[in-house]
Amino acid sequence: MRPLPGFRDFYPEDCARRGYLLDGWRAVACRHGFVEVDGPVLESMDLYAKKNESGAEILGQLYQFTDRGEREVALRPEMTPTLARMVIAKERDYRKPLKWFSIANFFRYERQQKGRLREFIQFNADLLGDASTAADAELISLAIGVLREFGFTRDDFVIRLSDRRAWMDFLAARGCDEGAARAVLAIIDKLDREPEASLDAKLAPHGLTVAELRAFIAAASPEHFAPLLDQFEARGLREFVEVDLSIVRGLAYYTGLVFEAFDRGQSMRALAGGGRYDNLLADLSDGSVNLPAIGFGLGDVVLGNLIEETPRAREKMERALGAAPAAEIYVVIAGEARRREALGLVQSLRDAGWRTDFPLDAAKVGRQFQTADQLGARFAVVVGNEWPAVKIKTLATRAEDSVAHGALAEWLKTAHV
């Protein structure tokens, strides 16, 4: 009677919290001029295996199988391959740049640990067809906007900017060919997550040490990033970003700018991450579609945990959830003789747009008022002997009024403002 390990049931309170995240993502993306897209949950294995652009780690975690039509298929582990496929197929139909976002669930057979699930939801946003620093800033501003939407400030998170090209130049100067450079990037990605001795052992064949990498990170001059940082300055968002070359990102398809959003608390979890993948579309389309692109993803699990742990964000969420009760109006049936009239009233209130509930079976009036309170209703409308008049009780104040049932809609409209 339990879901599979790593999968979640969403009971009403869980679903409300999930809806709060999704609604926030969607609202901020729309304010930034992004439009929503989505693809199928199941994709052909070809999409992931052919070019192996995602990297071996994700391939090793795929939920893959053979379908009833003998196709090799997989549950999507990330959005970018699907997005690239969709853009390649139809990009001619759309004005550039494309500013697309999606809210979708993904599947990875992960070892179970905090913040990792096997089915999780991600917000993804991508800007395609513009290779400029202005595009970089536009996309990263959306990431900042999404986090601010949930009540987080510069005290809670920071976006760390880096650039793979800086590393590629450095590693080329140190004699690494492209294959070696990719291997070293994968090691840098683990810099704070593995013991130094083990990393040094992995770096030795490339003639490098952890100390040398750390020295390069420490010496990073923000001059390279000056035009980008100026964009954030102009937007009033400079305090949300900093340069940190230790960010390299795990996925293989990134080509230049990469970034991660970190929570500033002790745990320093990555909340979001992304970067430029200017070659992916050309690679996947054998050169027929060549669009520069930048994108990022942000998952629901870490974000949800951080909201719970941050009082300002948690209170904001609780206010929002409290403002959407299961019922706004509860129709109390004070005498079963008037049940038919009450049913008609319930229907008219619902048709007028009110979240309305009522007792399906005969119940004592006191019990009905209890239910009204439990549902978070603002008003109880009592149908009884006074019909065609009804009594209205404002539940917070216990104030009472009485109106003809035909005048109820008007009364509520005024009371609600």
- Which of the stretches 15-23, 171-179, 399-407, 408-416 binds its own copies when contact is defined by CB under 8 A? 15-23
Among 24, 77, 81, 145, binds its own copies (CB under 8 A): 145
Q: And the tokens for 330?
A: 């509860």
Report the 10 Å Cβ neighbour count for 343.
Answer: 14
For its own copies, give the closer residue by CB, 42 or 183: 42
Q: Least CB distance from residue 273 to its own copies, whole Å? A: 22
CA distance 333 to 339: 6
177 interacts with its own copies by CB under 8 A: no
Nearest-angstrom CA–CA distance, 75 and 62 = 7
Cα 276 to Cα 224: distance, rounded to the nearest angstrom: 16
Site for its own copies in 369-388 (CB under 8 A): 371, 374-375
Residues of this chain, 195-234, that bind its own copies according to CB under 8 A: 230-231, 233-234
From 163-171, 178-186, 189-197, 235-243, give the range in contact with its own copies by CB under 8 A: 235-243
Q: Which C-beta is closer to its own copies: that of 167 or that of 330?
A: 330
Among 181, 354, 382, 384, binds its own copies (CB under 8 A): 354
Question: In whole angstroms, what is the distance from residue 26 CA to residue 37 CA?
Answer: 11
* Shortest distance in whole angstroms from residue 9 CB to its own copies: 5
Q: Enumerate residues 6+ apart whose C-beta is below 8 A from 227.
A: 133
Helices 210-219 and 196-203 pack at an angle, to 10 degrees, of: 100
Q: How far is the CB of 50 from its own copies (least distance, A)?
A: 12
In sequence order, what are the residues at sequence separation of 6 or more whose Cβ sits closer than 8 angstroms to the Cβ of residue 298?
Answer: 25, 122, 123, 124, 143, 146, 261, 271, 272
Sites for its own copies among residues 91-120 (CB under 8 A): 93-95, 97, 99-100, 105, 107, 109, 118-119
Give the C-alpha distances (Å, rounded to integers) separating 14 from 19, 300, 306, 366: 9, 12, 16, 30
415 touches its own copies by CB under 8 A: no
Which residues, 238 to 257, sit near its own copies by CB under 8 A? none
In the bound state with its own copies, the residue whose beta carbon lies nearer, of 268 and 324, is 324
25 forms part of the interface with its own copies (CB under 8 A):
no
Please report, as residue ranges, which positions from 282 to 321 form the binding site for its own copies (by CB under 8 A). Answer: 285
Give the binding-site size for its own copies (rule: CB under 8 A).
94
Q: Is 347 in the site for its own copies (CB under 8 A)?
A: yes
| Residue given tokens 């923000």 in the structure block | 222
Residues 6 or more apart whose Cβ sits within 8 Å of residue 165? 255, 256
Q: Pick from 203, 294, 302, 327: which binds its own copies (CB under 8 A)?
A: 327
